Amino acid sequence: MPGPEKHYVNRTGWLRAAVLGANDGLISTASLIVGVASASSGRAEILTAAFAGWAAGAMAMAAGEYVSVSSQADLEAADLERERRALEEQPEAELQELTAIYEHRGVSHMLAGEVATELMKEDALAAHARDELGLNEGSRTNPILAASASAVSFSAGALAPTLAAFLVPRAAIVPAAALATLLLLAALGALGGWLGGAPMLKPALRVTFWGALALAVTAGVGALIGKAV
């Protein structure tokens, strides 16, 4: 007898933040390095830009994720409180509302009423949160987890181009940082698809394309500014 199928929706909260953080860490730090290096700056200036971008980016990602996810959590909590009051003040209307939801999904009126009644006896708020508001424990937001995942993954992403800029000769910094970034972006896109149970090729190509475009643009800007200044 086959076992139950595996689902990955409970990974959505932290996976989105982690993939976004690592992607941003790679692209933004590598772009800084390539842009500054293309302006004919020395290794000290390149590394200063890399470490400054790393620190600022990690903190900005963490703060942005925390504020964004906290706002979402506040909205969810407010909706749950409104639902709790409605269940206390007009339980019959809420029962009819839940019954109508199940009818809309294709359940007969009589069966929908029975299901709604049984679920509301068990846990009325959980039933309405899940079927009316679309909220469940597996998909609830966690601001601290999202912020931590974002900051750590940004730092991990920023590490590769920074190491490339530190280890290779000055003349090779641009191609080394760009190559390391594009390879890791492809791996990151594939990993994100795998962790989400999705095909790996499409996300790998997508994130690599945008990374290459960002590197090309910043290299061009750095070269232009270097010549102008």
Closest of 151, 148, 146, 172 to residue 161, by C-alpha: 172
How many Cα atoms are found within 13 Å in the side-chain-facing hemisphere of 109? 1
- Residue 209: count other Cβ atoms within 10 Å of its Cβ: 14
Are 38 and 102 in contact, with CB atoms under 8 Å apart? no
Q: Is residue 210 part of a domain?
A: yes
In a domain, 134, yes or no: yes
pLDDT in tens, 124-166: 888 888 887 777 765 566 788 878 888 888 998 899 899 988 8
Q: Is 6 domain-assigned?
A: no
Task: Please count the other Cβ atoms lying within 10 Å of the Cβ belonging to residue 171.
Answer: 9
Q: Which residues span the domain enclosing 134?
A: 11-228
Residue 3 — very low, low, confident or very high, per pLDDT cuts 50/70/90? very low
| Any domain includes 152 | yes
pLDDT at res. 229: 61
Is residue 100 domain-resident?
Answer: yes
DSSP 8-state secondary structure symbol assigned to residue 63: H
Which pLDDT score, from 0 to 100, does residue 1 have? 44
Reduced to 3 states (helix: H, G, I; strand: E, B; else coil), residue 67 is helix
Q: How far apart are CA 127 and CA 135, in angstroms?
A: 9
Locate 27 and state its tokens: 């692209």
Nearest to residue 66, comparing CAs of 137, 120, 141?
141
CB 36 within 8 A of CB 226: no
Output phi, psi for 129, to 5 deg: -60, -40
What is the total count of domains within the chain? 1
Q: What is the DSSP string of 114-170?
A: HHHHHHHHHHHHHHHHHHTS---GGG---HHHHHHHHHHHHHHHHHHHHHHHHHS-G
- Check whether 8 has a pLDDT greater than 50: no
3 is a domain residue: no
Q: What tokens were used for 116?
A: 């709604």
Residue 5 lies in a domain: no
Q: Is residue 2 in some structural domain?
A: no
Split at pLDDT 50, 70, 90, the class of 12 is: low
* Confidence band for 15, pLDDT divided at 50, 70 and 90: low
